[in-house]
Amino acid sequence: MTTSYPVSSSRPFDYPRPMSALHCGKVSLEALARRYGTPLYVYSADQIVERLAMFQRALAGRDYLVCYAVKANSALAILKLLAARGAGFDIVSGGELERVLAAAPEAAGRVVFSGVGKTAAEIDLALEAGILEFNVESEPELELLARRAQKLKRKARFALRVNPDVFAETHPYISTGLREHKFGIDIRRAPAIYKSAARHRWLEAHGASVHIGSQIRSAEPFGSAIERVSRLARLLAREGIVLKAIDAGGGLGIDYHSGEFDAEAHVRGYASAIETALGDFEGRLLLEPGRFIVAQAGALLARVLHVKRNGKKTFVVVDAAMNDLIRPALYQAHHEIVPVCWRPGRERVVDVVGPVCETGDFFARDRKLAPVEPGDLLALLDAGAYGMAQSSNYNTRPRAAEALVEGGKARLIRRRETMADLLAPEMI
């Protein structure tokens, strides 16, 4: 069997000619690895901007705001890139708000604050920053928001995150739309809560929010969820509570495998399902895509340390590890793995693993891989979302560096951590 490379038009990474080195746009990944070392995350700014533009084209003609989900990849340079092109932001912590304010302070009014466990300090920070709305997940949280708003004498715009009890076919860890999940408020309770909040001077019922999960490839569950939220909005309007926004959440999935993926058609189908479900709702539509915008724009570069056999198994040991990209270990997630430089020969079935002292430290098991030797570079594709954002210092390993490629130029947007960085917060 001859070597084949699972790169496609949906990814910014490709071999410009046969038997050449993998590039991101016009930039050689081999050159980036020599310049910045490995493990190294590489992102395509051009692809990130184009994915945002897909939503903007699909929603042209209606009032909308694309609020990028910061948790997917919170690099300051990426936040600044998106803010400059009109994006808002979906945050789930005070720390993420601080990141938005550092990267693009002018975007504070385009921020929605989600998450089930907001603290008083986080709420105060968001109120003082003047964010767009709080996506409230429980009655106790709404009571806390009211108290903090009253204390600070700042009106708090809120949307109840309602739970529509819609099943989305995805990994159970990232499904969020059923009654047994920790997220949201039972949609049947929502009218009474909105009516009660209407009596509070410092609360403003600004919208309704829903989020049913992540990595969802079908548009139908999104349509079903928004249809139920639209019914809620109509019911509230009859009671004199007119919502200004419906937040459809995020969760639009990508193809992590090697097949062709028509991203534009995927967005158009998603937008069409939501538009149909909104019916005659005339307010603003908020969306919270994260993975869809950044995942396929990123790759993790790792250098091969050893190729070893253990019984019938062959292991390719690389210098990246589960602390750099935990998705395969945590979610059994699939990432295509390709050599950066072409080496002729037959594919072998191997496990691609890291140096961390855990059996779970793997990137692929029983995967067909082109021939590689110690010193070769591998690229783990579709690693732009939930890669660096979920990384850690397990085994006292410094986190990877990050580089951003824009046009034909690359720049470092996060230096590699040093041992001094890791030890600095500790005291003996």
Q: Does the pLDDT at position 215 exceed 60?
A: yes
For position 10, what pLDDT does the model report? 80
Provide the phi-psi class of 403: left if phi over 0, else alpha when psi is between -120 and 50, else beta.
Answer: beta
- Helices 190-197 & 139-152 angle (0-180, nearest 10): 20
280 and 375 assigned to the same domain: no
pLDDT band at 2 (very low <50, low <70, confident <90, very high): very low
Residue 121, Cβ neighbours under 10 Å: how many? 10
Q: Torsion angle, CA of 342/344/346/352, rounded to 10 degrees?
A: -30
Q: Do 303 and 257 sit in the same domain of this protein? A: no
Handedness of CA 275, 279, 284, 287 (dihedral sign): negative
| Residue 192: Cβ-neighbour burial (10 angstroms; 0-12, 13-18, 19+) | exposed
The helix or strand, by DSSP H or E, that contains position 265, with its residue range, turns out to be helix 263-278
| 21, 138, 140, 221, 240 from 185: Cα distances, Å | 51, 6, 11, 18, 21
Three-state DSSP state, 205: strand
Token pair 């603290």: residue: 119
pLDDT of residue 121: 98
- Asked, for residue 173, whether it belongs to a domain, the answer is yes
CA–CA distance, 73 with 295 (Å, rounded to integer): 9
Tell me if 52 is assigned to some domain.
Answer: no
Instruction: Mark residue 396 as left, alpha or beta (left: phi above 0; alpha: psi -120 to 50; beta: remaining).
Output: left
Whether 79 maps to a domain, the answer reads no
Domain count along the chain? 2
Kindly state whether residues 300 and 418 are assigned to the same domain.
Answer: yes
Domain boundary among 289, 317, 335: 289
Burial of 354 (0-12, 13-18, 19+ CB in 10 A): buried
Question: 354, 378 in Cβ contact below 8 A?
Answer: no
Q: What residue numbers bound the domain in which 176 lies?
A: 114-289
Q: Are residues 284 and 300 in the same domain?
A: no
Q: What is the mean pLDDT of residues 349-376?
A: 97
38 shares its domain with 170 = no
Give the residue among 218, 321, 278 at the shortest CA–CA distance from 61.
278
Residue 221, burial from CB neighbour count under 10 angstroms (0-12, 13-18, 19+): buried
**Does 96 fall in a domain?**
no
Share the mean pLDDT of the chain. 93
Residues 6+ apart with CB under 8 A from 196: none
Phi, then psi, of 379 in degrees rounded to 5: -115, 125
Task: Quick: pLDDT tens for 257-290.
Answer: 877 789 999 999 999 999 999 999 999 999 999 9
The encoded tokens of residue 372 equal: 């590689």
**Residue 165, pLDDT score:** 74
Looking at the predicted structure, is the pLDDT value of residue 301 above 80? yes
Residues 122 and 32 in one domain: no
What pLDDT score does 260 carry? 77
Residue with tokens 């020969």: 345
Regarding whether 414 and 322 lie in a shared domain, the answer is yes
Establish if 333 belongs to a structural domain. yes
Residue 347 predicted with pLDDT over 80: yes
Phi and psi at 84, nearest 5°, equal: -65, -20
- Could you read off the pLDDT of 26-46 as tens digits, one per residue? 999 999 999 999 999 999 999
Write the CATH number for 355: 2.40.37.10
The answer to whether residues 234 and 304 belong to one domain is no
Q: Could you tell me if 376 and 313 lie in one domain?
A: yes
Q: Which residues are catalytic?
A: 357
pLDDT above 60 (res 175): no
Domain boundary among 263, 289, 315: 289
In a domain, 134, yes or no: yes
Are 321 and 278 in a shared domain?
A: no
Q: Could you tell me the CATH number of the domain that includes residue 230?
A: 3.20.20.10
Work out the pLDDT band at 177, boundaries 50, 70, 90: very low
323 in a structural domain = yes
Residues 122 and 219 in one domain: yes
> In the block, which residue shows the tokens 């309770």?
189
Domain boundary among 289, 316, 344: 289
Pair 278, 300 in one domain: no
User: Which token pair is 222?
Assistant: 């999104």
Q: pTM of this prediction?
A: 0.94
Q: Does residue 125 sit within a domain?
A: yes
